[in-house]
Amino acid sequence: MRRAVAVRLSALLAAGALTAATGVALSSTTASAATGGVTGYATQNGGTTGGAGGQTVRATTGTAIHQALCSRASSSTPITIQVEGTINHGNTTKVSGSSCNTAAGVIELKQISNVTIVGVGNGAVFDQLGIHIREASNIVIQNVTVKNVKKSGSPTSNGGDAIGMESDVRNVWVDHVTLEASGGESEGYDGLFDMKDNTQYVTLSYSVLRNSGRGGLIGSSESDRSNGYVTFHHNLYENIDSRAPLLRGGIAHMYNNHYKRLNESGINSRAGARAKVDNNYFEDSKDVLGTFYTSEAGYWQVGGNVFDNVTWSSRSGDHNPAGPNPTSNTSVSIPYGFTLDGANCVPNVVAQTAGANKGLKVSDGSCTPQNPDPTDPGPTDPGEPTDPGPTDPPAGTNLSLGAGADGSSKASGTSYGNVVDGNTSTYWSPSGSTGSVSVKWGSATTVSKVNIRLASGSGTIGAYRLLNHDTGAVLATGSGAGTVAFSPASLKKITLEITNASGTPRIAEFETYAS
């Protein structure tokens, strides 16, 4: 970055202090994956479906996210992880397993595939903690905020990138997210959305990138030209110094984005890159398109863009802006269908749709934001949380009544039998924050759903596993209390294993159901 953004940020951050203090950033909107599913280049190369068709689990800590990944049958078993709350260094530890490769201090999606991470309920905020996608494919990240990830200072995470992809990554859809920093490189931050070392078929849609020295890049150096096929649409880039984005080789498609206060440069197409730039709105910015900081030229095809109070520098040396009257110097063929909003309405459409906790609204090209269709949730929709609460049990007979119970780590004064007695005023507790309790029968019993009820004064279950105790197979993973369904299993003993908790959980009832 040519200069820090700290001075320019001061007024914006002061204005945002009240929002942060009052928690306005976490709206009460409940979200699931958006209607219509994936768009742009992420539809190519076989498409991007994330965890569609797999199990849905809930996580309120980074450790629980890692636990969900590690509890899968394999590294490619589909899973949707619904996230709520603040994910930070304090609650994100390494979890080991044959289906994962995680690390502390970062959400690590490494050497895996078929995963959706979606913010739900009051929202998901990854605070000073980045999301790292490496040697992975078919990943969906939706409706989350990632902020203030640093590469220097303390704490550091993910090389300073809010979302970073590298090393043979394929098919990633990032949608309705908010990516924020609080300065530039001199303040310890790097890029908001980076792709390098052979990352292809990516879409960033309906998202906000703001208050950073660097918006993002495709390619880590002039020689890293194996990346590309990236779509950016209906995003807001606001108060960014440069790299909105930087393209080194490859092809990118930018349409219906709102670029506001790009302070030094914007779309930097270089090293043979080709950018198709359609119906975007550039406002109060400088040198929004061109080849900058290199002698190795890039190319662009432009059409339908609005340049509102955009200034252009003179061409000199390695600084080659496309303006003041940008014209196309290449042509780019786009293999997927798309519908353009008129550029003049882009600021309004993007303001209503882009970012986390906006209700996942989208545009159909009519300049009028559309709500997700509840009757057609799309291939990555995890549905509503499977947690009806203690007053709304599943239908059918509770098979635990009359069954036996045992376990480990029993706290003094509690009984295993309390989880099968139908009395929510009695409970079992582990001796600390972890432990297990089981329901058992004399003969094989088919179970496909359980309901975990907590007693008054209970701590919170951060992460758990449901095990077929006969075989050791993991039936389900999750966090908190409530109902979880899984494929029917015939067994003599089912175990609830609590692997993480805040405080001491009090399990009032461990209910089991055939359907």
Q: What's the CA gap between 146 and 356, in Å, rounded?
A: 10
403: Cα within 13 Å, side-chain hemisphere: 29
170 an active-site residue?
Answer: no
SS3 (DSSP) at 265 = coil
**What's the rounded Cα separation, in Å, for the pair 440 and 467?**
12
State the Rg of the chain over Cα: 25
Helix spans in 58-161 (H): 62-70
| Structure tokens given for 235 | 């995003």
Catalytic residue among 58, 210, 243, 465: 243
Residues in the chain: 515
Q: Identify the residue whose tokens are 């559309």.
A: 370
Buried b (16+ CB within 10 A) or exposed e, 205-214: bbbbbbbbbb
How far apart, in whole angstroms, are the C-alpha atoms of residue 147 and residue 181?
6
Q: Quick one: CA dihedral 372, 375, 379, 384, positive or negative?
A: positive
How far apart CA 56 and CA 469 sit, in angstroms, is 21
Q: How many helices (H) and strands (E) does the chain have?
A: 3, 33
- Which two structure tokens, joined as six digits, stand for 217? 């890049």
Instruction: For residues 514 and 88, give the distance between their C-alpha atoms in angstroms, rounded to a whole number.
Output: 38
* Amino acid at the residue 97: G
Contact 360, 380 (CB under 8 A): no
Q: CA nearest 92: which of 114, 59, 116? A: 59
CA angle 213/62/507 to nearest 5° reads 155
Catalytic residues: 243
